[in-house]
Structure 1
Amino acid sequence: MNWAPVNMRWPEQSTAWMDQMNDAKEMAGANLLSTAQRLSSLDGLATTDPSAIGGIVKDVVANGRAALDAQFSESPKCLVVTPFQSGVGQGTGYQRFLSAPGVLQRLAEKLDDGTDAARPDGEQYALVLLFLGTNFGLLASVLSKFNALLPIADLQRAERRARNLVQLEAEKWQIPISGMQPAWSELPLQSCTVVKTATQSFNGQLAMMESYAADSSPLSDLAELAQRKAQQSVDQDEKLSALKELLSGGTDEPTMQARLIGPGDTSELRKQLLEGDNAPGHEWVQSAGVILVGSLQGLSFVRELVGL
């Protein structure tokens, strides 16, 4: 056979077996329609009566919704400074540096930037967070701890870049090892896009037909659904309890520093930001920072999160 140009198309002969499922799908669809009619005939025969508990639960839900809305109704303004931002860090190429005092200076400059239309105004408070490191590896580790609880897009990008730079530095001297000669292996047919799409569709159709073939009743299905909902509630409570236990009894993290300043306008906040005797020094050559500006109510969640 001579060479011929490649023409990507659907493998009709290899997937002809899928057409054999059409009759079964049509019968299943007809059965589904009759099942819906039978279920509609049960309307009014099986109901739930929440009784007095329903009113109590409604009040609790309303109070919970109101508390949740009040907690997150005043989101503070957020500004992130990292060594990798354009015009922020010092150095050339991908080797960028920014010490802790430089972070504070950059944050102060943004507070005093009158050309920024998004700059907060009015009497407010500010929560300042510093992430301190002496190298890219330490900076990535510190940022990962914070991003695990409160991910911020700019901090996540800085974490990934710092981690990738560490990996690049470690692997740039490694020479990849390739096979000495061609070797036979199995064709990874399952990685083919056509095969994966067809497999997903086929598995979905099989699952649908298995559900039709299963001998069940609406009442048993509803009982199973209620059990799953109860188990989901238990699982969510366990996750929340595990998170609370993880955060309880934490130790101070010297590579993360937090400070609350205010109240005042941006000029006053800038002045208070640059004041202080115990600010981290230039020994932290790889640092990043975040300033959150808002009301005490808006900052309360993050304040508790960082232990202030």
Structure 2
Amino acid sequence: MTWPAVSMRWPEQATQWMGQLSAAQDLAGSELASTGLRLAGLQGLASTNPGPVGNAAQGAIAAGRAALSEQMGEAPACLVVTPFQSGVGQGHGYQRFLSAPNLLQQLGNKLVDASDPGRPAQEQYALCLLFLATRFDQLAASLARFNALLPMPDLVRTERRARHLSKLEAEKWEISTPGTLPRWQALPLERCTVLKAAQQSMAGQLAVLESYAADGSPMGDLAALASRKATQQQGRDQQLNDLKALLSGGGSDSSMRARLIGPGNAAELRRGLLEGEPPGHEWVLSAGALLVGSEKGLSFVRELVGL
């Protein structure tokens, strides 16, 4: 068996399908020019007439926009404390801990932190959320249930980090068994300069041909558009109904605690937050969120957590 020298050349047999498209390309070009002429001829002949639904829906649209603005217009101030924040948790390296009483102390101190210009200054209400766990996987699971409904960036990052640390703890005892090198893999044809040039040259022409192949009547296109809109609306309604069914009749979750405090200024809210019997130091992995705002602004989250 010999090893002949390599001679780089254009793949005539593999690309002969390009020549078969020339007739279709010429037809597409002529049809495109004809379409432009027909559209120019329709100028001034065709008109549209809006239906009666638009005027009838104006009142409902205004009421819906006002309700959304009223619900979302008074967003409360938010403070999130997690074990992984700098200067907050105890421990070194990846092993960071924060017990529940220390978490409450951190939240209370931030209420009266004069160096923070964003701290609340007026008499308001405070809603405190605690996420309690003893292991990283428990903390990630607890945060995942809450983030699925009301994701906060700091809590999402904490959930992701706790999940990764839990996976690291579980996999560090596994002994990997890698295969020998080299390994089989697919030939990267997408890196071939010949194929790149051919794809760039043919992409636009193929798109034109596909548009003509999928040609249909305007009435059919409008009917398909209306059907897609109806299907999308049904999907959104079903998603909302599924979420309502999931939240209705749900049991209490001991890994999440919530408490409403107020009204009062920052110092009074801090005293109210630290009063009573807090969760103990056995909850060594804890995260919390403190929402401060008006009673109306906190109503959505308050109802969401069952207070």
- CA change 1:199–1:164 in 2 (3 A) is farther
Q: How many residues align?
A: 294
3-state SS in 1 of match to 2:298? helix
- Among 46, 60, 63, which residue is 1:43 paired with? 46
CA contact (8 A) 1:28 1:209 kept: no
**Stretch moving more, 153-162 or 188-197:** 188-197
- CA change 1:27–1:132 in 2 (3 A) is farther
Structure-1 residue corresponding to 2:302: 303
Task: State yes or no: 1:123 paired with 2:127.
Answer: no
Report sequence identity in percent.
54
3-state SS in 2 of match to 1:297? coil
Give me the whole-angstrom Cα distance separating, in 2, the residues matched to 1:32 and 1:175.
Answer: 66
* CA deviation map 1:27-58 (0-9, x unaligned): 565355346436655532x52331xx544321
Q: CA deviation at 1:130?
A: 0.1
Structure-2 residue corresponding to 1:270: 270
Structure-2 residue corresponding to 1:291: 290
Task: State yes or no: 1:93 paired with 2:89.
Answer: no
Structure-2 residue corresponding to 1:219: 219
TM-score normalised by structure 2 residue count = 0.84
- CA change 1:18–1:248 in 2 (3 A) is farther
Structure-1 residue corresponding to 2:136: 136
Give me the whole-angstrom Cα distance separating, in 2, the residues matched to 1:289 and 1:149.
Answer: 16
- CA change 1:29–1:100 in 2 (3 A) is farther
* CA deviation map 1:75-126 (0-9, x unaligned): 1110000000000000111101101111100001111100111112111111
* CA deviation map 1:163-193 (0-9, x unaligned): 111111111122221224545x342527759
Give me the whole-angstrom Cα distance separating, in 2, the residues matched to 1:268 and 1:215.
Answer: 69
Give me the whole-angstrom Cα distance separating, in 2, the residues matched to 1:135 and 1:201.
Answer: 57
Give me the whole-angstrom Cα distance separating, in 2, the residues matched to 1:82 and 1:213.
Answer: 57
Give me the whole-angstrom Cα distance separating, in 1, the residues matched to 2:152 and 2:198.
Answer: 38
Unaligned runs of 5+ in 1: 1-11
Q: How does 1:24-103 map to 2 (within 5 A)?
A: 26-27=29-30, 29-30=32-33, 33-34=36-37, 36-37=39-40, 40=43, 43-44=46-47, 46-50=48-52, 53-103=53-103
3-state SS in 2 of match to 1:298? coil
Structure-1 residue corresponding to 2:169: 169
TM-score normalised by structure 1 residue count = 0.84
Give me the whole-angstrom Cα distance separating, in 2, the residues matched to 1:82 and 1:202.
Answer: 54
Structure-1 residue corresponding to 2:112: 112
* CA deviation map 1:257-304 (0-9, x unaligned): 000101111111111110113x21111110000000111111111111
Structure-2 residue corresponding to 1:244: 244
CA contact (8 A) 1:39 1:218 kept: no
Q: CA deviation at 1:238?
A: 1.1
Letter in 2 for 1:187: A
Question: For the pair shown, which has the larger CA radius of gyration, 1 or 2?
Answer: 2
